[in-house]
């Protein structure tokens, strides 16, 4: 084994023994977000956390949720809408 390979092996063992592998993986995912999703998506969405392999991200629309509820109710003239949920969907081929 070369010196770089020995160092890599030693670091991987130490990281594993400290129990911080998941935190390091999460940091790598968050750091790679902009490059991976591209500038257009990154300008409207941000990676928040990685837990057990599940990535949580925040979309710009969810930041204005209450404002959307308030505006809808204002137009309706009463408090018809109490909450608003965002549902992620995937685009079907040919749609």
Domain presence at residue 56: yes
Q: For residue 82, is it within any domain?
A: no
Number of domains in the chain: 1
Please check whether residue 68 lies inside any domain of the structure. yes
pTM of the model: 0.56
Q: And the tokens for 30?
A: 């968050």
What's the pLDDT tens digit per position in 7-37? 999 988 988 899 888 888 888 998 999 999 8
Cross-strand pairs, 51: 54
Cross-strand bridge partners of residue 45: 59
Residue 90 lies in a domain: no
Q: Which domain range does residue 63 map to?
A: 3-76
Tens of pLDDT along 45-73? 888 888 888 888 888 776 678 888 999 99
* 95 belongs to a structural domain: no
Q: Is residue 87 part of a domain?
A: no
Residue 14 belongs to some domain of the structure:
yes
CB neighbours of residue 47 within 10 Å: 19
**Is 84 domain-assigned?**
no
**What is the DSSP annotation of 6-38?**
HHHHHHHHHHHHHT-HHHHHHHHHHHHHHHHH-
**Three-class SS state of 55:** strand
């Amino acid at each position: 084994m070369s010196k770089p390979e020995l160092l890599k092996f030693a670091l991987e063992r130490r990281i594993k023994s400290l129990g911080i592998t998941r935190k390091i993986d999460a940091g790598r995912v968050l750091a790679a977000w902009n490059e991976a999703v591209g500038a257009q998506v990154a300008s409207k969405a941000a990676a928040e956390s990685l837990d057990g392999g599940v990535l949580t991200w925040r979309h710009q629309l969810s930041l204005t949720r209450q404002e959307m509820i308030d505006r809808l109710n204002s137009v309706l003239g009463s408090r018809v809408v109490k909450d608003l949920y965002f549902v992620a969907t995937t685009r079907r081929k040919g749609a």
